[in-house]
Each structure stands twice: as structure tokens, then as C-alpha cells.
Amino acid sequence: MAGRKKLNVGMVGYGFMGRTHSNAFGKVNRFFDLDYEPVLKAVCGRDKEKVESFAKTWNYQSSETDWRKLVERSDIDLVDIAAPNDTHAEIAVAAAAAGKMVMCEKPLGRNAAESAKMTEAVERAKVPNMVWYNYRRVPAVTLAKQLIDEGRLGRIYHYRAKFLQDWTISKDLPQGGTGLWRLDAGVAGSGVTGDLLAHCIDTALWLNGGIDKVTAMTETFVKERMHNLTGKVEPVGIDDASLFLARFANGSLASFEATRYARGHKALYTFEINGEHASIFWDLHDLHRLQYFDHRDQGIVRGWRSLHITDGDHPYMAHWWVPGLQIGYEHTFVHQVADFLDGLASGKAAAPTFQDALATDRVTDAVLRSAKNGKWEQP
């Protein structure tokens, strides 16, 4: 441990995601034995007072109010982007050009075109890069990947995923500005498609391979909202709900849905995959469980197994507490940092890279195209 290499982190953004990333960088070496140790060198945000307060709370050594300065600092090894979507491309391209490693909150860009530029930039600069699709690192989801890779499911017939929230149902909710930029199409790029559906797609591409084509439908239920930055009632440009059917390259059929208008669900991301021999179901509201059905079990005692993913032989869990004691949402970010640092040590990039995230954005673009033109579209 004495010999851990320092990795100087410069973070852009201090909102919700700034907190999850900072927590992860700060905790990772307590629980994982790694060759690298992140050092919270600087955090950057436009509001000087807020960013300094954040720096104090999270033990950053310094703060900046201009991300260009951060990117230029010679004492920064890694730029982590946790600011709103409209900042991702410019910062990532500049950081790569400056030879920094780049981590970026999802979605990568506001659309595939932006993501392609970002991907090109990090690949040209040959810098390690990663996108924070954190749900891959829920131990139950990682176990699902392991079970699929072991071939336990056999030929895959069906995949279905949904991400349901209910926080924007009120017409009185404004759009834009701090905490609400996700409702501002200019900043976010899209609505639930890039926000929630992108998570579903990232997991699906990882677990089930490529998507061949999609047919989609979107809706904006509340057409106008007060805009926080202009003070005026303005049209809402984002999609409130987005659904699509898909065919995967492996021949399986799929159904995807994301919405912020599903009363009773706060962050209900679920997926199910049905194979010839076995099926898997997972649910973010009980993220520490995985449902598994194996048809090869003896008939009279065959049933869905509720796996409590807290054992030492479950992915990541040996690093935490003892069997029976669950971890939560924030731990997925710690796992992602641990894997990224492991990737640095081994020289083998940890997924999802920018390239992987670009594939997701190509699907979300196809979804939005199909929703507009009513046709099946290829990503």
C-alpha cells in the first residue's frame, strides 16, 4: 500500500453526480487493494462560493471556476466530467487534447454526433477513458453478466427493460437551471431517452450484444413549463416518455421503456432476460437481489430463486461487510473507480469506454428518429 501510485483527479461539477464521484474516489482505497490511489486535487464549478464549500466538504485540495484552467493544470492526471450534458463534449475533447485521462458522466454526448467527436478525441490522444454507466457495477447486475457469459441461459429469446420515475408529473414543475437542466432540451440533449433509457441500453448491449433495429414512440405529456433561466413559460423540448421494440443481433426480441410519468416509481430500473434454459430478473429498487430461474432444476422444486447478493463469492462483495448485509447505490461508483484503477494497472481498459458509450448513443439516436418518422430504424 505504501507504494500506491497517486492519481490526481480534477473534477468538473459539484451537483448530485459530483457527490457520487467524490465519494467513490475517497472510499475506494479503504475497501479495495489497488496499485493506484486517487487524490482529490481540484474541483471546478462556476459558482466560486459553492465550489469552495464543496471542496471543503469533500476534501479537495483546491478549486477552480473555469474548467479550461483545470484542464490545463499540470498537476491533474484525470479529468472527471460530472457537469450537465451540454458541457461534456467540449471539456472531454479539450482534456484529451491536453493528454488527460477522461471519465465522463453518462450520457456521453447529447447525441451520437457529439459522442463520436469525444470518442475520436480520446482515441486519438490514446488516453484512458470511461463513462459512468454505474449500474453495470451493481453486484447483482455483474453477476447476471457472469451467469450469461457462462452460457447458463442458452439461446436468448427475450429481453425487456424499463426505467420508471414519477417526479415530473406536476405541471407546476419548472424546467431549466440548477437541478432541473434535465428538462431543458438544449442542455440535456433529450429527455428520458438520454437520461434513463440510455442506462437500459448500456446494460442491454453489455448483456445481450448489439441491436439491429428499433421502432419507437415518444411523448411529451406537459407541453409547456416555466423556464427557470428565462422566467417565461416555454415549450418543453424533451421527451417525457420513450418506448421502443427492438431486435438484437442474436435474434432475441426486446421491449424498452423509460418515463418520468409512472406514478409510484422513483427509480424503478428493471430488466429481464429469458433464455432457453434460464431467466434473470433485476430491479434497482431492491438492487441487492437478483431473481434467477433455472429450468434444469428438478421439476417439483423448480422456481424463481431470490438471490441475496451479499456473499463473499458474489461480485465485489468480499470487499464490503459480511453475508446478509446489503450495500446500496453509491457503492456502484466505488466499484467503477476500482475497476478503472485496475485497468490502469493491468493496461486493459475497463468498460464502458467512450467507444462503448457511443454505441449506446447510436441506439438512442435511432430511437428518437423512429419516434419521429414512424419507421423501423437501425442504430
Query: What track of x and - describes contact with its own copies for positions 174 through 213 (by CB under 8 A)?
Result: ----------------------------------------
Stretch that binds its own copies, among 102-110, 119-127, 152-160, 338-346 (CB under 8 A): 152-160
| Closer by beta carbon to its own copies, 356 or else 377 | 377
Q: Give residues with Cβ within 8 angstroms of 211, minimum separation 6.
A: 201, 204, 205, 246, 247, 248, 249, 254, 363, 379
Q: What is the dihedral of CA 175, 178, 184, 185, to 10 degrees?
A: -170
Q: Give residues with Cβ within 8 angstroms of 357, minimum separation 6.
A: 104, 106, 107, 108, 115, 119, 131, 133, 202
Is 324 in contact with 307 (CB distance < 8 Å)?
A: no
Residue 328 interacting with its own copies (CB under 8 A): yes
| Closer by beta carbon to its own copies, 303 or else 347 | 303
With CB under 8 A as the contact rule, the residue among 5, 48, 124, 302 that binds its own copies is 302
Q: What part of residues 112-151 is at the interface with its own copies (CB under 8 A)?
A: 143, 146-147
Stretch that binds its own copies, among 27-35, 114-122, 183-191, 224-232 (CB under 8 A): 27-35
Q: What part of residues 250-289 is at the interface with its own copies (CB under 8 A)?
A: 251, 253, 255, 257, 259, 261-268, 274-279, 284-289
Q: Binding-site residue total for its own copies (CB under 8 A)?
A: 97
Burial per residue of 10-39, b for 16 or more beta-carbon CB atoms within 10 angstroms, e otherwise = bbbbbbebbbbbbbbbbbbbebbebebebb
Could you give the CA distance from residue 14 to residue 172 in angstroms, rounded to a whole number? Answer: 26
DSSP sequence for 59-74: T-SEEES-HHHHHH-T
Stretch that binds its own copies, among 22-30, 78-86, 186-194, 336-344 (CB under 8 A): 22-30
Residue 220 interacting with its own copies (CB under 8 A): no
- Quote the least distance from Cβ 128 to its own copies, whole Å: 25
- Quote the least distance from Cβ 301 to its own copies, whole Å: 5
